[in-house]
């Protein structure tokens, strides 16, 4: 009797393979979400969110900041990692221990044994913000996976192929979802569709994404 009831309870966490090398750990970051959001606030006190310029001269709709030894930046000179925040000249804030631990745990679940990210990009989407299809290829070692954590309002993620023209599939990403991308999925094109108006009790109308990467071997 109790077993029947147990089996009817909705699962708190579940795993959805997307393709070879990519897996969604649904709600994996739900329990630590408030800690992660406090971590984001602390990072942003030292290195405020800013809308960076693309090399083509456009202003990104996504506001970004970074933590960890290497921060990802873009400006007229191009896309790259650097150790100093261009706004202050100071080193990026250190990566909160809770961020590191979650990223390593998620990578482990996906079969990547000793993931030690040296970079965490924090993206903040407000309604209307989006990110066009692109590849993440500013890192030295494509054998290292990428871990992405979604917090706040839901969005439709675009997951394409190895060529820009490959038709992307749409993957809904919600608060607490963690995606691990590695192996044959590591260089696939991806992007984020325009964020719609919605409210989340912890983030208001915003969506945050933490992207953990190993920038340097």
Instruction: Pick what 118 binds: ligand MD3, Fe ion, none; C-beta below 5 to 8 Å, kind-dependent.
Output: none
Cα–Cα distance between 39 and 31 in angstroms, integer? 14
Beta-carbon contacts of 161 under 8 Å, excluding residues fewer than 6 positions away, are 167, 168, 188, 189
Cα–Cα distance between 192 and 126 in angstroms, integer? 12
Contact flag: residue 177 with Fe ion (CB under 5 A): no
List Cα–Cα distances, 146 to 15, 176, 180, 199, 204, in angstroms: 17, 16, 6, 28, 27
Q: Please, what is the minimum distance in Å from the beta carbon of residue 5 to ligand MD3? A: 37
Cα–Cα distance between 170 and 39 in angstroms, integer? 29
Distance of CA 115 to the CA centre of its chain: 15
Contact flag: residue 136 with ligand MD3 (CB under 6 A): yes
Contact flag: residue 203 with ligand MD3 (CB under 6 A): no
Binding residue for ligand MD3, selected from 26, 124, 175, 188, defined by CB under 6 A: 188
Contact flag: residue 136 with Fe ion (CB under 5 A): yes
The order of strands in the sheet holding 131-134 is 131-134, 190-192, 155-159, 169-173
Binding residue for ligand MD3, selected from 209, 212, 214, 215, defined by CB under 6 A: 209
User: Beta-carbon neighbour count of residue 171 at 10 Å?
Assistant: 17
Region from 48-56, 80-88, 89-97, 184-192 binding ligand MD3, contact rule CB under 6 A:
184-192
Binding residue for ligand MD3, selected from 26, 124, 175, 190, defined by CB under 6 A: 190
Contact flag: residue 25 with ligand MD3 (CB under 6 A): no
Cα–Cα distance between 146 and 25 in angstroms, integer? 13
Contact flag: residue 26 with ligand MD3 (CB under 6 A): no
Region from 29-37, 45-53, 91-99, 178-186 binding ligand MD3, contact rule CB under 6 A:
178-186
Region from 4-12, 100-108, 112-120, 188-196 binding ligand MD3, contact rule CB under 6 A:
188-196
Q: Which residue is nearest to Fe ion (CB)?
A: 136
Side-chain half-sphere CA neighbours of 124 within 13 A: 19
- Contact residues: ligand MD3, CB under 6 A: 121, 123, 131, 136, 146, 148, 179, 181, 185-186, 188, 190, 192, 209, 211
């Amino acid at each position: 009797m109790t077993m029947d009831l147990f089996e009817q309870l909705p699962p708190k966490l579940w795993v959805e393979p997307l393709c070879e090398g990519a897996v969604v750990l649904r709600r994996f970051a739900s329990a630590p979400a408030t800690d992660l959001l406090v971590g984001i606030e602390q990072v942003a006190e030292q290195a405020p969110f800013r809308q960076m310029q693309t090399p083509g001269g456009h202003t990104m709709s996504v506001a970004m900041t970074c933590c960890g030894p290497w921060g990802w930046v873009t400006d007229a000179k191009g896309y790259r990692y650097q150790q100093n925040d261009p706004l202050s000249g100071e080193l990026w804030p250190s990566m909160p221990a809770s961020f590191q631990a979650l990223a390593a745990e998620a990578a482990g679940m996906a079969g990547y044994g000793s993931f030690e990210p040296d970079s965490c990009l924090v993206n903040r989407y407000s309604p209307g913000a989006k990110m066009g299809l692109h590849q993440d290829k500013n890192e030295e070692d494509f054998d290292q996976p990428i871990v992405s954590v979604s917090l706040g309002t839901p969005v439709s993620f675009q997951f394409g192929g190895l060529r820009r023209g490959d038709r992307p599939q749409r993957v809904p990403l919600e608060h607490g979802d963690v995606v691990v991308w590695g192996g044959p999925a590591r260089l696939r094109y991806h992007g984020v569709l325009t964020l719609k108006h919605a409210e989340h009790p912890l983030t208001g109308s915003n969506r945050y994404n933490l992207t953990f990467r190993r920038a340097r071997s």
